[in-house]
Amino acid sequence: MEIFDYDHVLLLPRKCRVESRSECDTSVQFGPRSFKLPAVPANMKTVVDEPLCIWLAQNDYFYVMHRFDLDTVAFVRRMHELGLYASISLGIKEQDRATVDALAAQGLVPDYITIDIAHGHADSVKHMIWHIKDKLPQSFVIAGNVGTPEAVIDVENWGADATKVGIGPGKVCITKLKTGFGTGGWQLSAVKWCARVATKPLIADGGIRSHGDIAKSIRFGATMVMVGALFAGHEESPGRTVEVDGELFKEYYGSASDFNKGEYRHVEGKRILEPIKGKLADTLLEMQQDLQSSISYSGGRALMDIRKVNYVILGGDNNAEHLLM
């Protein structure tokens, strides 16, 4: 198996088929809906909050609300009252099963439910998928996180509609250091490896550092990418604003950090400060334009045309080591 990460790969251009990059369509079908971009802000407390979810839904972007310190039932009700789709996160504990029961009892059907735990290749996830499929069969279920093909096969067989791939590649993740496990450092090839067996969509989660990494994720089999750090430092980001030597930063912390958990127990995340980089809408627009360029370099017009291109893996000295056809 080839091992590489985003920085070690470059995609190879094919003859251009458009006269303007504006002809390139970045939209993606994901579950029951189509979205402007194959990128979703991470379901973390310092990345999304309710106002951002409303804005994203109103503007045809995919969002996943986080699951921390939140009345998830009320959130779904409010989104539906606004005529917007509802996309929530759940864990696998008794309280999460109760949330599913309450939603079903009140006739509130979230359009998307993400089961979000550190080690998603687990019977607890299987039982949660079954519970959701029993009570809310119309919801599109995303399960994770996983990092191996065996896990993707299991999660799909348990009934998940999509799988989230990435154990420890995140910017505020310390799983690799604390446990010795994960896909940190080789996330892109883990996505490729998982995509070989996947029969349903994959979300590549963690490690996206540049807009070009989105095209690379699509090339290696992702349908959507989940992005934390790149989205965290915006004016609208929910993290606390911190001033250091006259410069403004936003707090960005891991969901498994003591800052999120409120206690130092099974901590696998840390806190960092992201420099504030303007408005989220501007970044999303730039991301879309960059992805349109990616599509044009791929010689295509549609997002999935990126899947057709060849690539090189760069050696340590930055020389092309392999040309893979």
Ligand X SMILES: NC(=O)C1=CN([C@@H]2O[C@H](COP(=O)(O)OP(=O)(O)OC[C@H]3O[C@@H](n4cnc5c(N)ncnc54)[C@H](OP(=O)(O)O)[C@@H]3O)[C@@H](O)[C@H]2O)C=CC1
Q: At what angle do helices 72-81 and 94-105 cross, to 10 degrees?
A: 30
Contact pick of 114, 189, 255, 283 for ligand X (by CB under 6 A): 255
Pairing between β-strand 39-41 and β-strand 87-90 as defined by DSSP bridges: unpaired
Omega cis (within 30) before 310: no
What is the spatial distance between Cα 99 and Cα 69, in angstroms, rounded to a whole number? 13
Q: Tell whether residue 119 is a contact of ligand X (CB under 6 A).
A: yes
Q: Tell whether residue 239 is a contact of ligand X (CB under 6 A).
A: no
What is the spatial distance between Cα 193 and Cα 186, in angstroms, rounded to a whole number? 11
Pairing between β-strand 140-146 and β-strand 162-165 as defined by DSSP bridges: parallel
Contact pick of 120, 147, 212, 228 for ligand LQESDW3C (by CB under 6 A): 228
What is the spatial distance between Cα 39 and Cα 100, in angstroms, rounded to a whole number? 26
- Which of ligand X, ligand LQESDW3C, none binds 93 (CB below 5-8 Å, type-dependent)? ligand X
Binding residues: 202-225
Amino acid at 2: E
Q: Mask: binding to ligand X, 186-205, rule CB under 6 A, as x and -?
A: --------------------
3-class SS shares of the chain: helix, strand, coil, % to 5: 35, 20, 45
Shortest Cβ 241–ligand X spacing (Å): 23
- Which of 100, 313, 309, 104 lies closest to 215 in space, CA to CA? 309
Q: Tell whether residue 257 is a contact of ligand LQESDW3C (CB under 6 A).
A: yes
- Structure token digits, residue 116: 């979000």
Annotation says 173 is catalytic: yes
What is the spatial distance between Cα 275 and Cα 305, in angstroms, rounded to a whole number? 34
Q: Tell whether residue 141 is a contact of ligand LQESDW3C (CB under 6 A).
A: no
Residue list 18-47, contact with ligand X (CB under 6 A): none
Contact pick of 256, 280, 303, 306 for ligand X (by CB under 6 A): 256
- Which of ligand LQESDW3C, ligand X, none binds 117 (CB below 5-8 Å, type-dependent)? ligand X
Q: Tell whether residue 87 is a contact of ligand LQESDW3C (CB under 6 A).
A: no
What is the spatial distance between Cα 237 and Cα 228, in angstroms, rounded to a whole number? 11
Q: Tell whether residue 175 is a contact of ligand X (CB under 6 A).
A: yes
Contact pick of 114, 183, 255, 294 for ligand LQESDW3C (by CB under 6 A): 255
Binding residues for NADP(+): 202-225
83 exposure class (CB count in 10 Å sphere: 0-12, 13-18, 19+): exposed
Closest to ligand LQESDW3C by CB, 28 vs 167, is 167
Residue list 258-287, contact with ligand X (CB under 6 A): 266, 268
Q: What number of chain residues touch ligand X (CB under 6 A)?
A: 20
CA dihedral 273, 277, 279, 284 (to 10 degrees): -100
Contact pick of 102, 118, 304, 312 for ligand X (by CB under 6 A): 118
Q: Which residue has the tokens 């334009």?
A: 289
Contact pick of 9, 90, 100, 256 for ligand LQESDW3C (by CB under 6 A): 256
Residues near ligand LQESDW3C (CB under 6 A) are 42, 44, 145, 166, 168, 170-173, 175, 205-208, 226-229, 254-257, 268-269
- Mind telling me the catalytic residues? 173
